[in-house]
Amino acid sequence: MHCRVCGVEARKVNDFGQMPIANSFIRLIQEDVFRFQLSTSFCEDCALFQIDEQPNAELMFHDAYPFFTGLSMEMTRHFKDLVQSHAESLNREIDPFVVEIGSNDGTLLQFVRELGIRHLGIDPSSNVVAIANSKGISSEVGFFGEKTAVEIEKRFGEADLILAANVICHIPDIIDLAAGVKKLLGPNGQFVFEEPYVGDIIAKTSYDQIYDEHVYLFGATSVRNIFRRVGLELIDAIPQFTHGGSMRYVIMHVGARSQSLRLNRILRDEEVAGLSQTNTYLEFAARCELRRSELRSLLQQLKTAGARVAGYAATSKSTTILNYCGINSDLIEYIVDSTPEKQMRLTPGSHIRITDVEELRKVPPDYLVLFAWNHEKEILQKEIEITQMGVKWIRFVPNVEIIS
Ligand code: DWN
Ligand code: ZN
């Protein structure tokens, strides 16, 4: 494939095979699911790791999008901190304006609203936008790009702060997005966004971060290279613990501020870790294959031994794990998830029943695969009773193992 940003031929890395849309949970086994070839490539010119083919946005983000940010207490706390760090210091005398791209159910913007700051959320899924509006958070349905940015600027004026969390990596036309940010951002404004970090994905072999929605797996080097193309500069990068390791990027107009020492260090670390070299990604692909056979053989051994295995959390990420590793209801009886919209449905492609967490207490399994490994601390704290009942947890990132 050709790199979406610089157009040069990128080197093929992973081939995960035919994959359904990660969040297309189905009602009946007979239901048809859309499939596409999930594979990745790496562009050495701009250091960008990306998926080759992405399904149409309307197939992924729609009025039944089943992910709600507010379901995680940890993430809610994290977004409160983000607003404290980046919005609280805005000068109230100038009546600042904050825009969030991909605002989901308003979990982040609610903290901006509590500060009494003018705000607007944009999200393509009307169901989550309705939830945000019902909480008094100004939100509109739409895809963010240059056209939308110009319209927002006409209606509300320039933005002093543009925020985005776990969404910029979902947008294939990243140059159009960057051009939109450039148009909407005031001269001293900041664009602050955070995403799963490619450095962690490579280091932990967390290949489940690769699925239809995540068209890019960013690092500081690639983000700097992308935004420079439109006259924006990466001035800081701040590591985060969320989603198994993320990076928060701070971007301003060129010349507005110089690069932080922390960013210089991160860029150097990325060079040392080989994040600009194709070989690093080819080695990652080999480790993905290894992890796949390790997980499959562990589940097969447990089945042979007569153990009952269930899963915890029907994440988007688990669609890659289940389909790539060929795991279905033969190996995992059911998956529990707190999202009502996912319960009574089947996982796409692998047809594992999703049910309420209560099922664990009624008929406890012997083992639980922790699909939301990124929320391990929150979930293990919450489910201490299950662990005390003797249920053993299995993690597959960074290694396939039974949690002791
Ligand atoms: O980037 C994205 C991230 C932010 O969220 C999106 N592309 C879609 C989604 O990805 P995900 O589904 O992999 O995210 P999570 O946060 O790992 O998924 C959590 C899932 O686990 C939800 O279905 C809710 C469930 N859950 C649960 O059942 N009990 C989560 C927690 C914390 C719990 O205690
Ligand atoms: Zn490129």
pLDDT in tens, 142-154: 999 999 999 999 9
**What φ, ψ does residue 355 adopt, rounded to 5°?**
-145, 175
Q: How far is the CA of 255 from the centre of ligand 1 (A)?
A: 38
Contact indicator for 216, 186 with CB cutoff of 8 Å: no
- Let me know if 284 is exposed, middle or buried by CB neighbors in 10 A (0-12, 13-18, 19+): buried
pLDDT of residue 48 exceeding 90, the answer is yes
Q: Which ligand is nearest to the CA of 221?
A: 2
Mean pLDDT computed over 346-368:
95
Give the contacts of 228 (CB within 8 A, at least 6 positions apart): 234, 254
In this prediction, residue 367 has a pLDDT band, given cuts at 50, 70 and 90, of very high
Q: Match 């995540």 to its residue by tokens.
A: 214
- How many angstroms is it from 268 CA to the middle of ligand 1? 32
The pLDDT score that the predictor gives to residue 404 is 82
The Cα–Cα gap between 251 and 182 comes to 10
Is the minimum distance from the CB of 382 to ligand 1 under 6 angstroms? Answer: yes
79-119 pLDDT, tens digit per residue, is: 999 999 999 999 999 999 999 999 999 999 999 999 999 99
Residues around ion ligand 2, judged by CB within 5 A, are 3, 5-6, 43, 45-46, 48
Higher-confidence residue: 268 or 71? 268
Task: Name the E strands within 242-348.
Answer: 246-253, 309-312, 334-336
Ligand 1 centre from 315 Cα, in Å?
A: 5
Query: What's CA 308's distance to the chain center, in Å?
Result: 30
pLDDT band of residue 32 (cuts 50, 70, 90) is confident
pLDDT of residue 12: 98
Could you tell me the pTM of the whole model?
0.97
For a mutational test of ligand 1's pocket, the pick from 215, 316, 356, i.e. the residue with the most ligand atoms closer than 8 A to its C-beta, is 316
Angle at 320 between CA 314 and CA 325, to 5 degrees: 105
Task: State the average pLDDT over residues 65-80.
Answer: 93
Q: CB of 86 within 8 A of CB of 149?
A: no
Closest ligand (CA of 22): 1
**Do residues 224 and 247 lie in contact, with contact meaning Cβ atoms separated by under 8 Å?**
no
pLDDT of residue 30: 81
Would the CB of 166 count as within 6 Å of ligand 1?
A: yes
Cβ atoms 245, 197 nearer than 8 A = yes
- Residue 343, CB-side half-sphere exposure with 13 Å CA sphere: 10
List Cα–Cα distances, 229 to 5, 66, 224, in angstroms.
9, 34, 9
**Ligand 1 closest atom vs CA 208:** 13
Query: How many Å lie between the centroid of ligand 2 and the Cα of residue 2?
Result: 8
3-class state of residue 371 by DSSP: coil
Q: In 3D, which of 22, 167, 132, 78 has the Cα closest to residue 378?
A: 78
Full strand arrangement of the beta sheet holding 11-20:
11-20, 35-43, 48-51, 216-217
Mean pLDDT over 19-32 rounds to 91
Q: Which residues pair with 204 in a beta bridge?
A: none
What pLDDT is recorded for position 363? 86
Percentage of the chain surpassing pLDDT 70? 100
The pLDDT tens digits of the residues spanning 213-246 come to 999 999 999 999 999 999 999 999 999 999 999 9
Planar angle of CA 246, 61, 130, nearest 5 degrees? 95
Query: Looking at residue 31, what is its pLDDT?
Result: 82
Strands 246-253 and 216-217: unpaired
Q: What is the mean pLDDT of residues 298-325?
A: 98
CA–centroid distance, 377 to ligand 2, in Å, is 36
Q: Kindly state if the Cβ of 78 falls inside 6 Å of ligand 1.
A: no
pLDDT band at 33 (very low <50, low <70, confident <90, very high): confident
For residue 98, give every residue at least 6 positions away whose Cβ sits within 8 Å of its Cβ, in sequence order, or none.
87, 90, 109, 112, 117, 118, 119, 120, 159, 160, 161, 162, 163
- Give the pLDDT of residue 308: 97
| Residue 162 CA to ligand 2 centre (angstroms) | 25
Question: What mean pLDDT do residues 29-57 have?
Answer: 95
> Which numbered atom of ligand 1 lies nearest the CA of 342?
23
pLDDT confidence tier of residue 266, bands split at 50, 70 and 90: very high
pLDDT above 90 (res 272)? yes
Q: What is the pLDDT of residue 138?
A: 97
CA distance 98 to 42: 34
User: How does 349-383 read in b/e, with b if 16+ C-beta sit within 10 Å?
Assistant: bbebbbbebebbeeeebebbbbbbbbbbeebeeeb
Answer whether 316 contacts ligand 1 (Cβ < 6 A). yes
